[in-house]
Amino acid sequence: MLSPSRFQLVWLLLTRMTFRHWRSKGGHYILLIGIVAVGVGAFNGIRQASRSASENFGLFNQAVSGQSDFLIESPVQRLLEADLVKLSTLGLDPDWHLVPVIEGSVTAVKTGGVDKKQLRLIGLDLLALGNLPTLAQESLRFSDEDANWYDWLGHENEVWVGQKLADQLRVGVGDNITFLASGRLAKMKVRMILNDPDGNLPDDLVLGDLPTVQSLLSRPGELNRVEVVINQLDRREDTAYLGNIEKRLNQLLPVNLSLSPTQNRAADRSAMTAAFRLNLTILSLIAILVGAYLILQALDAAVVRRRAEIATLRSLGVDGSVLFATYLMEAFVLGLVGSIAGVGVGQVLALGAVSMLADTVNALYFATSVEALTLTSLDVIVGLVLGLLFSMLAGWLPARDATQTPPAQVLARGDWSPGFSWLRKPKVGIGLLVLGGVALLFPPFVMQAGSNMPVGGFLAAGCWIFGSALLSGHVLVLLAGWVRPFCMGPVARLACSRLRDGSSRHRLAVAGLVVAVSMVTGMFQMIDSFRGTIEEWFDVRFQADLYISESGVTGAGSVNGIDPKLMDELLKDPNIKYADVMRICYAKPPKGVTVLAGVDLEHWRDRARQIWLKMPGSLKVVDGAEPALVSETFARRFGVLSGGVVELETPVGRKRVSPLGIFCDYGNEFGMAAISAKVWTDWTGSNRPINVSLFLKDLSKLQETRDRLRIAYPGLDIRNERELRDVALGIFEQTFQATNALSLIGLAVAFAGLLLGLFSIFDESTQTWQTLKHLGFSTSRFVLAAGLEGAGIGVAAWVAGSITGLALGWLLVFVINVQSFGWTLLWTVPVESILWFGALLTGVGLFSGVISATYWNFRRR
């Protein structure tokens, strides 16, 4: 006879036993598959949603004509008509077409059934567009009815919208869309609804003729960029040809403008949100991780439940490696089915998360809108691989535990708990804590847009969390030892003695909770520290009486600004004593982007209140460089905390700024350098303000002035300090929505893990309970003892988790935040929340113990 191969044996065990167990506990395994699906789905969903929310800044060419090849831009992303004149020779070349584009964010208000909707208004030179070689090939057509395409131009204020947008706003041809742009309330008339049978057009796109859009945005003579489309479309993949075209374009390009392949722009924008997306990815990985923890607990419970069966197999001569492979295969199958289901779950979760994330991106980075969610094959592969990897990692320990089961001859002697003996050894835990400390020495990784990724900080966090989880069993034993002398009754003594004994499964249950508790406690501190710091910053920094900005646009990058004429008009208000006008634009440092602001530098330096990291004048301005007050983020990013020079590209060439003081600022993570308004205008050729802070003569007329300005300028947001604070804190809360949601998922899973862990503990102690029953231990006493055991686990997890959480809080505030964003936060420890959390954990532990013991008892009957 030929012995069957190990694979055949594994297959035999899987089909004859494992899957039959699945069948007899169908609901249980469907739940497990569901857990993997939710974990993988959360990861995939957040991945898709963040991509959809942060990468939808599609260029005109992506939306309409398919593809442009190059972009001509200025360093501040604004071109003037003078620039276009300089490009006139470039436009004569027959090998390419130039398409000038203006783009702006506007807010449609009270149109159709929609109260407010952010729109992307794009202005094009339609005459140039008519010559585009690609247009004829596209399925998109402007209209069948217009025999003469010159009719596209229409009249002033007339625009085209896609069918989807028309449906959303419930507008038809000839209807008006009321909108806010550059501080003005205006109307645009729908001239045509674009025929878009394939649904290629985004639902926020509004197209218009170039002069029309310039007028609608109150930005006469301005452009955002010029797109270059090559004539020979069949040579688009020919890199040599494209290289030659790029070379020729560069030769003819004015010095103040830059040329780049179109795809670079997508990469630039993508890089801007890379840190944000990476943070989200890490958070969403936690969803898979906690899912894996549940799988571990469930498979471990299965091993305990099937212990007698495993022992019989051992006595029949089934060797450990076959058992190991069988249990690992079980985890594999769970992971595979769960991950496949997770792809579908991810789609559903993405639908729910995408608008939330789009709001955050809008608030923090640039104007965006939700684009159709796309599921790529890479998403599917990444989801599957992660689901399988984590499931198999989770299955590893129970599989190993199964191999340690002795043959039935030995097992029959009593309770058996070989379990995770390494949890009893403190070496690995201590090693991880030390390794975390060493990881702090790693410098941050500099990303494409100049943002920093605190690799060492994240590594340290991981090491500390897992190290303390491994050590938490010792805390449990220690605490139980302290409490034991005070336990008088038999129930308390029994519970305490079992905790003092600290079986591997007790330790595993505490470890799982510690991971969740420490993360949540750390997050509590970071969010509270952040909130506290911002409130403090508001108290100091915002001393003006009224704050005015463009209405509807919230994104830090949506710099339409306020129409200068409107601003001049507004500043004539008789109650204004002083107006601190601010202008901003993006500027290009050697790496990434930053913000260059034009302000009343004298006022900022001498009168405006700031939280100063370095007082103005404490830093020596480098000769020949423009003096600037820079934010802490700017100073840290460009290494000028002790003074120095940073070179920035401007439309008038490279300019040098040198800090004379450093202030704390929590507005953006790209940093800001504030120079005098006059120099800013010289460098950028613009005078468009982004906002203004008003100091009033007569404060008793504050509300009256605000209301008067609001009526006169409906396109502007006019707020007092309290209202501005509410808006800012609203954005703040928005930013932490995803974090809070994932923390809640983590906690819920940890509690589910505790329940499963307690089941295993009781299953494994069957003989003990039987003995106690014979000794007259009643069911209610058993349930109470189990409740106390659960509560003890909760308390130990709270103590160990809170200590680790405090360390994590420190890490988040002083290392990860500083390295990621360059922000110094005031560390706040929310003692009250932590205490409440402890009470909650104890209560939930008690409840879990009671529930699991009741169910266990019921099942045994």
Residue with tokens 């479309």: 233
To another protein, the closest distance from the beta carbon of 21 in angstroms equals 6
**CB count, 10 Å around CB of 256?**
18
Half-sphere exposure of 803 (CA within 13 A, CB side): 13
Q: Which element (helix H / strand E) includes 34? A: helix 26-54
Q: Which is nearer to another protein, 163 or 312 (CB)?
A: 312
**CB count, 10 Å around CB of 414?**
9
Question: What residues between 356 and 415 interact with another protein by CB under 8 A?
Answer: 406-410, 412
To another protein, the closest distance from the beta carbon of 301 in angstroms equals 16
| Under rule CB under 8 A, residue 17 binds another protein | yes
Q: Which is nearer to another protein, 305 or 656 (CB)?
A: 305
Question: What residues between 452 and 511 interact with another protein by CB under 8 A?
Answer: none
Q: Which is nearer to another protein, 328 or 797 (CB)?
A: 328
User: Is there a contact between 555 and 105 (Cβ–Cβ < 8 Å)?
Assistant: yes
To another protein, the closest distance from the beta carbon of 23 in angstroms equals 9
Q: Which is nearer to another protein, 22 or 276 (CB)?
A: 22
User: Is there a contact between 681 and 598 (Cβ–Cβ < 8 Å)?
Assistant: yes
Segment interacting with another protein, rule: CB under 8 A, options 179-187, 255-263, 307-315, 689-697? 307-315
Q: Which is nearer to another protein, 313 or 692 (CB)?
A: 313
Q: Which is nearer to another protein, 160 or 324 (CB)?
A: 324
| Under rule CB under 8 A, residue 247 binds another protein | no
Task: Give dist(CA 107, CA 116) in Å, integer.
Answer: 6
Per-residue binder mask for another protein (CB under 8 A), 518-537, x = binder: --------------------
Which tokens belong to 111?
């149109």
Residue count, binding to another protein (CB under 8 A) = 30
Choose, by CB under 8 A, the member of 268, 309, 535, 723 that binds another protein. Answer: 309
| Under rule CB under 8 A, residue 28 binds another protein | no
To another protein, the closest distance from the beta carbon of 295 in angstroms equals 21
To another protein, the closest distance from the beta carbon of 1 in angstroms equals 5
Task: Give dist(CA 682, CA 685) in Å, integer.
Answer: 6
| Under rule CB under 8 A, residue 315 binds another protein | yes
| Under rule CB under 8 A, residue 3 binds another protein | yes
Q: Which is nearer to another protein, 240 or 316 (CB)?
A: 316
Q: Which is nearer to another protein, 4 or 199 (CB)?
A: 4
| Under rule CB under 8 A, residue 418 binds another protein | no
Segment interacting with another protein, rule: CB under 8 A, options 16-24, 153-161, 185-193, 234-242? 16-24
Choose, by CB under 8 A, the member of 4, 133, 199, 352 that binds another protein. Answer: 4
To another protein, the closest distance from the beta carbon of 28 in angstroms equals 15
**CB count, 10 Å around CB of 781?**
15
Half-sphere exposure of 697 (CA within 13 A, CB side): 7
Q: Which is nearer to another protein, 13 or 664 (CB)?
A: 13
Nearest to 673 by CA among 659, 687, 686, 684: 659
Q: Which is nearer to another protein, 299 or 596 (CB)?
A: 299
Task: Give dist(CA 716, CA 707) in Å, integer.
Answer: 12
Which tokens belong to 615?
């007082």
Beta strands in 279-396 (DSSP E): none
| Under rule CB under 8 A, residue 312 binds another protein | yes
Q: Which is nearer to another protein, 4 or 653 (CB)?
A: 4
Choose, by CB under 8 A, the member of 27, 317, 414, 624 that binds another protein. Answer: 317
Residue with tokens 């953006």: 668
Collapsed DSSP state (helix, strand, coil) of residue 746: helix
To another protein, the closest distance from the beta carbon of 439 in angstroms equals 39
User: Is there a contact between 135 and 222 (Cβ–Cβ < 8 Å)?
Assistant: no
| Under rule CB under 8 A, residue 174 binds another protein | no
| Under rule CB under 8 A, residue 16 binds another protein | yes
DSSP strand pairing (594-599 vs 672-676): parallel
To another protein, the closest distance from the beta carbon of 316 in angstroms equals 6
| Under rule CB under 8 A, residue 320 binds another protein | yes
To another protein, the closest distance from the beta carbon of 417 in angstroms equals 19
**CB count, 10 Å around CB of 180?**
23
To another protein, the closest distance from the beta carbon of 20 in angstroms equals 4
Q: Which is nearer to another protein, 82 or 410 (CB)?
A: 410
Task: Give dist(CA 339, CA 378) in Å, integer.
Answer: 14
Choose, by CB under 8 A, the member of 9, 303, 793, 799 that binds another protein. Answer: 9
| Under rule CB under 8 A, residue 770 binds another protein | no
Task: Give Cβ neighbours of residue 700 (< 8 Å, ≥ 6 apart).
Answer: none
User: Is there a contact between 83 and 257 (Cβ–Cβ < 8 Å)?
Assistant: yes
To another protein, the closest distance from the beta carbon of 730 in angstroms equals 57
Nearest to 692 by CA among 543, 540, 548: 548
Which tokens belong to 239?
């890199």
Choose, by CB under 8 A, the member of 121, 180, 217, 311 that binds another protein. Answer: 311
Helix residue spans in 183-273 (DSSP H): 210-216, 239-252, 262-272
Q: Which is nearer to another protein, 413 or 572 (CB)?
A: 413
Start-to-end CA distance of the chain, whole Å, equals 45
| Under rule CB under 8 A, residue 771 binds another protein | no
Q: Which is nearer to another protein, 3 or 703 (CB)?
A: 3
Q: Which is nearer to another protein, 20 or 860 (CB)?
A: 20
Q: Which is nearer to another protein, 311 or 357 (CB)?
A: 311
To another protein, the closest distance from the beta carbon of 818 in angstroms equals 54
Task: Give Cβ neighbours of residue 347 (< 8 Å, ≥ 6 apart).
Answer: 44, 45, 48, 373, 375
Choose, by CB under 8 A, the member of 81, 138, 319, 726 that binds another protein. Answer: 319
Task: Give dist(CA 687, CA 581) in Å, integer.
Answer: 10
| Under rule CB under 8 A, residue 24 binds another protein | yes
Task: Give Cβ neighbours of residue 637 (< 8 Å, ≥ 6 apart).
Answer: 450, 452, 592, 594, 670, 671, 822
Dihedral (C-alpha) 253, 257, 262, 268: value to the nearest 10 degrees?
150
Helix residue spans in 365-454 (DSSP H): 377-403, 408-411, 426-439
Which tokens belong to 249?
């374009």
Backbone φ/ψ region at 77: left (φ over 0), alpha (ψ -120 to 50), beta: left
Choose, by CB under 8 A, the member of 318, 384, 461, 812 that binds another protein. Answer: 318
CA 513 to chain centre: 24
Choose, by CB under 8 A, the member of 92, 147, 240, 316 that binds another protein. Answer: 316
**CB count, 10 Å around CB of 710?**
15
**Which residues of this chain interact with another protein, rule CB under 8 A?**
1-4, 9, 12, 16-17, 20-21, 24, 308-309, 311-321, 406-410, 412
